[in-house]
Structure 1
Amino acid sequence: MSSTKQRASQACDACRQRRIRCQVDISHDDESDRICGRCRLANLPCTFNMPMKRRGPPAKKRRTSFQSVSKSDAEQLEAAETTSGAISPRFPDVVPALLPEDDNEQQCYAGPASLISKFCSEPLFNALMQDYIGLLYPVLPVVHLPTFVSDLGNYRHRIDQDFGRFVLALCAVTISVRPDRFVDFKKIDPDFSFSTRLQAIDCVQSIINKTKPPDYYDHSTVEKWAIPLCLGRAYAYLGNRKAIYYHFSEGHALMQDLGCHRTSTYASLDHVEAQLRKKAFWLTAITYTHVRPEDPWWDSLRDRLVFEEYQASELFPLILDDEYITRGALLEQPHTRPSLMVGFMALALINNCLVSIMRDPAVSLFSTTTDCGSDRDSLGACTCGRHIVPSPLAGLLRSRLSTLDRVVADLPLELGPHKPLGPSLDQARSLQYETMRLNLHITYRWVQSLLIERLISLSGIGSEDRADLWDMLQNVCAELLMFVKQMTQEVLVLHGTSLSYKIRQTAASLLDHPFLPGSAASNRAQEQIKAFADILASLDAMHAKS
């Protein structure tokens, strides 16, 4: 009988190393006599000593309770029909291990070398992803959480290089905001040899840039958009604010290529993808806002040129947590559990008061000196641009200050300036609310101080109005100081130098106050400045450790 050649159930060692199809003579009963045709022709020893890789998804015993949320839409709808009321997917009290920690089991799943292995070990990667989900996700929600955890559980980062680059960027931004955990990260992975967080982020950027294929930008995805956003924020959290300009340019271009700024592109998308793209739009806008206040003309015609075609008011994301959004259906959010998206949209609206990308129908940002005869665009200015002049800013700035107060007043108790005293939620959820609450109220006071300072500097403001504005600014600083004092340093340090920068800039506004020496206002300002200096010195010391 002629020998039968067919694809073997297990490739020989030589073919596995060369990653080519293996053909084995299976007519021999004795496995020791079997030899691959390619090895015979090349006169190579044909062995089968390398351990077989386990195929299929991870063992069910290793699946986390997060993965139970990522059921198909049909299963969720069927569950909804058989139960009364809304579905309430259960999340664990603390973020569980997302990947197996046993070295033997990891070896069973070892496939082609992943990008993660070039940066850190799987246990450290697991710890970084837990920190992202538990701490950073509320203010940087670049994923659909149930899908993301399912992808991690199925080791997508080992087989999909685009996803690998994406999670590497998440690792970078997570490391940047955790100076208190940097030593712990090195203990988890002894081979994690970086001496500073900046070195680790530089390594991530290098791996991402070197592994981009030539056709990388031919197809845009939300994950590709999120990579420059995360890298830019990672550098900004460490104090390198200039780097965010370059990464913002790439992210902004990808966001536009995805059509996140146009409502017409959402018609064919499922609920999950639509929510991700709307969050991408607002995260891009928030990032742009944060790099503008360094410019003395931060509310200028440049904003009009960047955002004039955006339909921002129609692009608000759904006020639902990710576990209540499936690709084919929207589930009801329990009333006892406010969505984190409430805080995210409040943060977006607060930033919109600084650099507006939504037209305020009550106040015109620009006007024209004469009728140039050309058509007018959506902002009410001539298209030729020769007759555009800024409208008086006093009314605009006061309107934005009122809008700020309304946004914060509408927040639920869980996100208010004072932590509620009622029954607490589970540990993971409470920490997410605390992270969002911290960002909301520090950003709120920061934007308030910038708007008031701009009002004070206007030439048309009378002396009495200017005195009232100085008092308002001092009250803003007092409220910020009171809020910061109730937060622990461990929570304050979670967001890198970004929040320290906002606190520092708000406190510095007191230095320009025309206090009379020895007056009550002067003494109060001196006490506030000293208190701010002590807090900032302590935060700077914690950041300097790594």
Structure 2
Amino acid sequence: MSPHEPAPEPYPHRACDRCRRKKARCDSVDYSCTACRAAGQACTFDIPPGKRGPRGKPRRSNIADVQNDTDQRHSIAVEASLSPPSFTSPAAQATELSPYSHSPATLSSQHPHYPTPVERCGLLADAVAQASPSSTSLEAVVRECIDLFFRYIVPFSTSVHEASFRHSLDQFFDPSPPDAPLAQSTFTLITAVCAKVCFFMPPDLFPVGNSLAETFLQASRSCLASYSDADLENPCADSITIRYLHSNCLHTCARPSVSWHVFGEAVRLVQRMRLHDEDSYALLPQIEADMRRNAFWHVYIGDKSLAVLRSMPIIIYDYSFEEGITTAYPSSEQNDWTLGSNAGIRLWQYATELLLRMRLTRKDQTPDPDLPHSPFTPSDDATLGQLYVRFAICIDNLPPHLLPGSTNQPKFAAQIADLHVTYYCLKMHLTLKLEEIGYFSWIGESKDMLLLRKTEIARDMVRLLQTIPFWSLQLNGEPCAEKIRLVGASLLAIIHEPSPLATRARHDFKVLLDILSRLDSKASDSLRRELP
């Protein structure tokens, strides 16, 4: 400031800037002290004054403000999780998830506030109202989902006890007493079941499903995340079922990697709870024991399905445990679905034992440079043949209500589709694996006979798909489409062969491709591109 500029306001209690920097006594009068006059300048007072004394404690009102701000930001995040996800660039995600982007209040909060189930129910009701084209209430939508789940979604419904679940549903919407707390696990399971129904039910049977599927899935996963650690520490049957339902929904909405990781949590819970051991059920209440048993076998089948359809490692099998798998099959007295569920377990169990035996046989084979494939020992030859025959006849004695074409029991249509589509898929997969190790060459089967064997399996599947209701395939979702695709891919390989069977293969391939297209399956696009 020059002497000719307007003078600032007086600072009688402050030293000028020059004296403060030199830590000298200031005798400033009329904006001029001895040191500044000697320098030919006027005093300036631009340096902010310092605060004296010890730091004061933060006021309680400030702490409350910070906590309220944290709660508000968390509520916004929860609301966002209930809405359909939008695309965010990887760079933006990295910025949002970076620990350096959080406020000090967030970093210092050791106990973040999560919405209560009642608050989540309100958020979900708003999200459903926005996503649904109709004005149906949340309770009406949820109750319709539950009815459809227990009527059509098998075998998953066998790991949810219907009477207990419906009681929890009544408590959820009409708590008694009115102020009774609602469990987070109840909200998570209810919304997981609703998500499963929305993703898997055909639009003809549940028109609003497509618009609500993501909403229910995000609500369920968000609630599980709020108590996941405690749930892993003290798991129950619902802990496994919830994660398996989430995994199925994620697979259907084209997120296979996330689906596999979520399914992995269910597998680890099964291992930790020792559900492979029949003794682990001895001291449990009957309902919990039944639900754990059913959940174990669902995870067992899912583990094998991932190995066949997505080339993942087999995790749950006899040799994984010192005492093997001693868990009994679910009791046929539980419900009407149990007979079909147990037939499905045997189907996967026999197929897995044959696959594992083939791996051991290949490992023990001694290469022979004069032969296209390594020779088999008489023991290997006999064992592989016996295991294949056991698998091939394992569904020969199904009851009439589980056979294709059974019109008397339409409620079993989805179970019939799953059981028989799985059978033909596994039969083709086992044939391909036996071919890889040279089994058919060893027993003297010609190449054309092997191609005929494959086309007969495919034709049997085509006949099945033309017999059963199309909606029963839709109810089984993307896993069913992947099984059909595996057979279609085998036919595609035959089409490229210089064989008279190529014409038959092409005809049946087009039928399978049309069915996959009607299922709106991602598998149909890749097959269509490969068709010559």
Partner of 2:275: 260
| Residue of structure 2 equivalent to 1:241 | 256
| 1:504 matched residue in structure 2 | 485
Is the aligned partner of 1:524 residue 2:504?
A: yes
> Is residue 396 of structure 2 the alignment partner of residue 409 of structure 1?
yes
2:227 is the counterpart of 1:212 = yes
| Partner residue, 1:227 | 242
CA distance in structure 1 between the partners assigned to 2:141 and 2:193 by the alignment: 13
Please tell me whether residue 172 in structure 1 is matched to residue 172 in structure 2. Answer: no
Letter in 2 for 1:178: M
Tell me the equivalent position of 2:367: none
Q: CA–CA distance in 2 between the matches of 1:353 and 1:538?
A: 32
Structure with the larger RCO, 1 or 2 (CA within 8 Å, 6+ apart): 1
Residue in 2 aligned with 1:319? 332
Residue number in structure 2 paired with 1:456: 435
Partner of 1:474: 455
Q: Could you tell me how far apart the structure 1 residues matched to 2:495 and 2:153 are?
A: 40
Gapped regions of structure 2 (runs ≥ 5): 1-115, 129-137, 176-181, 365-376, 525-532
Q: 1:353 aligns with which of 350, 354, 360?
A: 350
Whole-Å separation in 2 of the counterparts to 1:507 and 1:541? 13
How many angstroms apart in 2 are the aligned matches of 1:130 and 1:344? 20
Tell me what 1:113 maps to.
118
RMSD: 3.6
Letter in 1 for 2:163: P
Native 8 Å contact 1:157 1:167 kept in 2:
no
Q: Deviation string for 1:462-503 (max 9, x for gaps)?
A: 262544332221111101101101223222212221211111
Query: What TM-score results when the alignment is normalised by the length of structure 2?
Result: 0.63
Q: Does 1:538 align with 2:514?
A: no
Summarize the Cα distance change of 1:477–1:117 in structure 2 as closer, same or farther, 3 Å threshold: farther
CA distance in 1, matches of 2:498, 2:354: 42
Which structure features the higher share of helix residues? Answer: 2
Q: Normalization by structure 1: what TM-score?
A: 0.61
Could you tell me which residue of structure 2 aligns to residue 201 of structure 1? 217
**Total equivalences in the alignment:** 377
| Cα shift at 1:405 | 2.7
C-alpha change, 1:163 and 1:203, in structure 2 (3 Å) is closer
Q: Is the 8 A contact 1:138 1:432 kept in 2?
A: no
Asked if the contact 1:292–1:298 (Cα under 8 Å) also holds between the matched residues in 2, the reply is yes
Structure 1 contact 415–436 (Cα < 8 Å) conserved? yes
Cα deviation code 1:365-385 (max 9, x no counterpart): 57998xxxxxxxxxxxxxxxx
**In the TM superposition, what is the alpha-carbon distance from 1:177 to its structure 2 partner?**
0.5
Q: Find the aligned partners of 2:320 and 2:164 in 1 and give their Cα distance.
A: 31
SS at 1:312 equivalent: coil
The change in CA–CA distance for 1:469 and 1:275 in structure 2 (over 3 A counts) is farther
Distance 2:523 2:494 in 1: 30
CA contact (8 A) 1:510 1:525 kept: yes
> 2 CA distance for matches of 1:131 and 1:214?
31
* Change beyond 3 A, Cα 1:357–1:394: closer
Structure 2 CA distance, aligned partners of 1:452 and 1:196? 41
Alpha-carbon shift at residue 167 of structure 1 (Å): 1.5
Quick one: structure 1 residues 356 and 368, their matched pair in 2 at CA, closer, same or farther if it must change by over 3 Å?
A: closer
Q: Distance in 1 between matches of 2:250 and 2:272?
A: 24
Distance of 1:216 and 1:314 partners within structure 2: 23
Give the letter for the 1:219 counterpart: N
Structure 2 residue 170 is the aligned partner of structure 1 residue 153? yes
**Post-superposition CA distance 1:501-540 (Å, at most 9, x none):** 1111112101222776572x22211110111111111111
Aligned counterpart, 1:141:
158
Q: Answer yes or no: is the 8 Å Cα contact 1:260–1:280 preserved in 2.
A: no
Tell me: CA distance 1:311–1:279, structure 2 relative to 1, closer, same or farther (3 Å).
farther
